[in-house]
Amino acid sequence: MNPLTQFKKILILPLLIALALVVIQVIPRALGQRDASKRSSDVEIPLLKQQPAPLEPAVCSSWTPTGSLNDARELHTVTLLPNGMVLVAGGGGNGGILASAELYDPASGTWTPTGSLNDARDLHTATLLPSGMVLVAGGFSGGNFLASAELYDPASGTWTPTGSLNATRIEHTATLLPNGMVLVAGGYNNGPLASAELYHPASGTWTATGSLNTARVFPTATLLPNGMVLVAGGFDSNEHRLASAELYDPANGTWTPTGSLNGARGAHTATLLSNGMVLAAGADFNIGGNGVSAELYDPMSGTWTLTGSLNTGRQDHTATLLPNGMVLVAGGDSANGVSAELYDPASGTWTLTGSLNTGRFWHTATLLPNGMVLVAGGRDYSVKGLPLASAELYETCKPTPTPTPTPTPTPTPTPTATPTATPRLTPAPRPRPTPQPRPHAATFAIKETE
């Protein structure tokens, strides 16, 4: 054999062997890497999607007794002050008509006497002015109808006389207008009144404004979102309930008839709902009704439409708009005086809720800044003729969110001897916003004409 040829064979053979070894090692590894890469990219990492937390049925703590008034009283007024305290003034007591006033502190649950009225009175009205002062007007005392009015200053805890009404009156309405004036309308003074007048806080004086088309005692008055005032129902000179309603326009000082109620009502309640409608409830007895009907006023069309009926017929009750948009109706001269129920504007239905600890009517109800409702005083339903000193708190329904379980991410399959794909990050759940309390419209409990 040629030495050169033999040398080539000796040289080439190891090269071929080395090349074969490289091919054996590299190609499968490359193929495996490509396959593993493909598998890892195909792995779906589940994203944690934030689902709305389902709401359990509303749970309420019902009614809880709180501190008692220093003076038992009925037919009094109540005003929530800007500092969160609650002012109760006047009313009928065990010893006659009261001049005393007291303050409720939600933090301690106690009542503290404050300055007394200059004139003892019941069947009056109380209105919180933009200045933070409280205007009390009219009422009944010592067998006389009153024209006097006075102002309460929370800073000093004292009452100061202000200008007197042009007409003595009881069982009237008082509404704070957007311009800061107070509209007083209707009422009773040896007969139903049609007159109305305006209080000017700057001058402390009253001026006459347009009269109602129908004289009425103990109607309801509701300030609408458009600035107009809706007055509805009440009693006529024969002590019959009225179905008529009318609107006051502050721009021109006149009253215009609007759609009539489906049922004549007096000693009922009227509540402005969050949707701008007005809910009138109960006290439709003298038209063959049994006090359970309710209806809605639509300011856009000027008409009333029947809605779901109360579970219990009632009059002289209270109605309170809750932060969740529902309406709490409590007590009243009804089957037992203790029942309470909730109106749901979304469904137009009433649902019974926890009963009061003490049956009562001619009481007051106030939505507190903490969302609870304070009911105070009134006449004892079980022993008619006796005013009450007791008070109690209703805790508004608070939906309890059911915790959403966090799904366990599916493990990423890891091929043998291959890199593990990095999972995508799971987005953090967004916190649920806390709804702001909606403003509250107070309902005064005033004596029905007997």
Burial of residue 427, with CB atoms counted within 10 A of its CB: 0-12 exposed, 13-18 middle, 19 or more buried: exposed
At 257-290, the pLDDT tens digits run: 999 999 999 999 999 999 999 999 999 976 557 8
Over residues 347-366, the mean pLDDT reads: 97
- Whether 320 and 331 have beta carbons less than 8 Å apart is answered as no
User: What is the distance, to the nearest Å, from the Cα of residue 177 to the centroid of all Cα atoms in its chain?
Assistant: 20
Q: Which of 28-32, 327-331, 444-448 has the lowest mean pLDDT?
A: 444-448
**Is the per-residue pLDDT at 339 higher than 90?**
yes
- Whether 82 and 70 have beta carbons less than 8 Å apart is answered as no
pTM, whole model, 2 decimals? Answer: 0.77
At 283-301, the pLDDT tens digits run: 997 655 789 999 999 999 9
Burial of residue 32, with CB atoms counted within 10 A of its CB: 0-12 exposed, 13-18 middle, 19 or more buried: middle
Who has greater pLDDT, 50 or 163?
A: 163
Q: What is the mean pLDDT of the chain?
A: 82
| Amino acid at position 80, single letter | L
- Whether 75 and 92 have beta carbons less than 8 Å apart is answered as yes
Over residues 222-239, the mean pLDDT reads: 97
Predicted local distance difference test score (pLDDT) of residue 385? 77
Q: Which pLDDT band, with edges at 50, 70 and 90, does 5 fall under?
A: very low
Q: Tell me the pairing of strands 360-361 and 379-380.
A: antiparallel
Q: Which pLDDT band, with edges at 50, 70 and 90, does 8 fall under?
A: very low
**Is the per-residue pLDDT at 307 higher than 90?**
yes
Instruction: Give CA–CA dist 102/113, Å, rounded.
Output: 4
At 108-120, the pLDDT tens digits run: 999 999 999 999 9
Give me 122's structure tokens: 């019941």
